Amino acid sequence: MRKLLKSIALFSHIARRSSPSFSSLRDASFNPIIIPNKFVSIPFQRKFSSRQQKIAEKSHLEEAFESAETTEEMLKAFSDMEVAFNEKELGLASLKIGLKLDRDGEDPEKALSFANRALRAFDNDNKPSLPFAMTLQLMGSVNYGLNRFSDSLGYLNRANRVLGWLENEGVSADDVRPVLHAVQLELANVKTAMGRREEALENLRKCLEIKEMTFEEDSKELGKGNRDLAEAYAAVLSFKEALPYCLKALDIHTKCLGTNSVEVAHDRKLLGIVYCGLEEHEKALEQNVLAQRILKNWNLNSDLLRAEVDAANMMIALGRYDEAVGALRNIVYQTEEDSETRALVLISMAKALCNQEKFADCKRCLETSLGVLDKREQVAPVEVAEAYSEISMLYETMNEFETAISLLKRALALLEKLPQEQHSEGNVSARIGWLLLLTGKVKQAIPYLESAAERLKDSFGPKHFGVGYIYNNLGAAYLELDRPQSAAQMFAVAKDIMEVSLGPHHADTIEACQNLSKAYGETGSYALAVEFQQQVIDAWESHGASAEEELREALRLLEQLKSKARGASANEIPLRALPLPNNKPAASSKKNNKPAASNISQPDIPLRQSRKV
């Protein structure tokens, strides 16, 4: 029974399914000893009858089912068993077929029907069992595949509780852990699809803990578990948290597989992405070059092409535009004419040309790319939406705001049809709202910003810095509409979030505080306005000589508020709407003695984490 239960547990989605953001988990197998499609015989509980003929018949039917390997053979053997066995006796067989169908992924409704039969067989027992927990995990997995995320979450949470009870009752950890790993992994997938990415991270951490208790210290599986967690952190832009797990994965895979393994190449590619997120582009390019060498040695041309494009983007980030354009021109000839890859290469080339202010050449690249992407909307909606978003940023850089907004709306229309892309939908809505606000269409901006705030709170957590920027922009919109009380509420939320995520002395946190002071001044609450303006002054003073200009302006505004409080007229205090940052800003980003708020480019929270990093 023990070997059977392990086989069935591992036959579940550990090896098959991954979420949109944790895509490299697709090929994860918890126990490499288990060979797919090879089933350990299932010991059925027999109901002995006085007639030996019936006993022999049941035994024959059991053996036929246990020896079946293909789905068709299993279904035929199960059909024969239905005549001789009752529903309770068919529980394990139903579970086994359900797992096989779910793994194949071709008929989820049929998989669900067998999972339901197994659930009915085990759910009536007075005492929870391991097969019952495995059935609940199967129910969660099948419902996830059918996009019934709430149902899936309910079954998986119940499976988690049953497994906890079994552990407390003394059931062997060797039996429980494989099933628990499958449940935790599926919980991460479901929560990611529901936009609850912060919670999903906790489940992935538990997956890694289980592997650490199961495998040797330097095993390949532990290396992959560390990389999976690093990918998950990178997906929510937590690059600092991703870095140690990525380095650990690289260390383990180098020790157990050597420096030239494909796993090491994937680790280095991810490490390059993490370093880019940390704005350490030289280190990122170094890792990318090392990854390219390995991919070339293994003739992995598709992965190599992607890595070359990534390298060109890193060159652009470093300001090496001519070098990037030259590399991309060589790459474009390796792609098919109407392929998605060619479109992405042209977008990168347009980015380099835009930075060189060669706008005519930039637009030609973008128009060609859009012609390709338009044909791919139904085939790869997420990838096309991401490309539309990136192209929109380039049009925005060229001050063609209407074109940028139009492209973002096309991206949003694609993402709204995909429930698992809620975080992407929120990001695009935020950018549309920002651009509408920037172009004076304030009333149109508000619903997009409100929608973005809710979706990104669910996806990245209520204290994520990106959510703070959206609330700041909502405050700016309400103030523009002469709703200072609503504006003050939004600015207060923005300030609280930024103080947690960026720190109280970050330039953008200070600007949010400045906006809050302005809003309270508009409501006539001068005491509060003065209090927050004093906080602005204190924060700029902490920057020293580099913020002298900002400090002088803050002191001037404080005197205006005090004068206004005494009934004198005052000039209007400038208000700043803050676009979302490209990445999590540094503690006190400043350039040319201007606050970071004025230097941040358009929002660029990734629409999705690449399925292969």
For 368-383, the pLDDT digits (tens) are 999 999 999 999 999 9
pLDDT of residue 459: 82
For the residues 112-129, what does the mean pLDDT come to?
90
For residue 493, pLDDT over 50 is answered with: yes
**Chain centre to alpha carbon of residue 187:** 14
Write out 64-95 in H/E/C secondary structure.
Answer: HHHHCCCHHHHHHHHHHHHHHCCCCCCHHHHH
> Per-residue pLDDT for 141 more than 90?
yes
Q: Which amino acid makes up residue 525?
A: S
For 297-326, the pLDDT digits (tens) are: 999 999 999 999 999 999 999 999 999 999
Q: 20: helix, coil or strand? A: coil
Q: Does the pLDDT of residue 508 top 60, yes or no?
A: yes
What's the pLDDT at 37? Answer: 39
| pLDDT band (50, 70, 90) for residue 603 | very low
Determine the topology of domain 1-214 in CATH.
1.25.40
Q: Which two tokens stand for residue 391?
A: 């192209």
Cα 582 from Cα 390, distance rounded (Å): 12
Res 590 pLDDT > 70: no
For residue 1, pLDDT over 70 is answered with no
Q: What is the distance between the alpha carbons of residues 276 and 425, in angstroms, rounded to a whole number? A: 23
Q: Is the pLDDT of residue 429 over 60?
A: yes
Q: What is the mean pLDDT of residues 24-43?
A: 38
Q: Which amino acid is at 588?
A: S
**Do 1-214 and 377-598 show the same overall fold?**
yes
Q: Which tokens hold the place of 55?
A: 């006993």
CA distance 128 to 158: 11
Q: What is the pLDDT of residues 335-354, one digit of tens each?
A: 998 899 999 999 999 999 99
pLDDT at 227: 98
Is 490's pLDDT higher than 90? yes
For a pLDDT cut of 90, what percent of the chain falls above it? 70
> Where residue 576 falls among pLDDT bands split at 50, 70, 90?
low
Q: Region 4-30: what's the mean pLDDT?
A: 40
Point out the least confidently predicted range of 70-74, 84-88, 221-225, 557-561. 84-88
Q: Give the three-state DSSP class for 41.
A: coil
The fold of 377-598 is 1.25.40
Mean pLDDT of the chain: 85
Reply yes or no on whether the pLDDT at 28 is more than 60: no
d(CA 36, CA 103) in angstroms, rounded, equals 9
Beta carbons within 10 angstroms of residue 36's beta carbon: 12
Sequence ranges of the domains in the chain: 1-214, 377-598
b/e for 516-549, b at 16 or more Cβ within 10 A? bbbbbbbeebbebbbebbebbbebbeebeeebee
Confidence label for 4 from pLDDT (cuts 50, 70 and 90): very low
User: What percent of the chain has pLDDT above 70?
Assistant: 84
Q: Is 56 left (phi over 0), alpha (psi -120 to 50) or beta?
A: alpha
With tokens 């992935």, the residue in question is 204
d(CA 38, CA 510): 62
Give the residue, 91 or 155, on which the prediction is more confident.
Answer: 155
pLDDT band at 170 (very low <50, low <70, confident <90, very high): very high
Tokens of 489: 């509420």
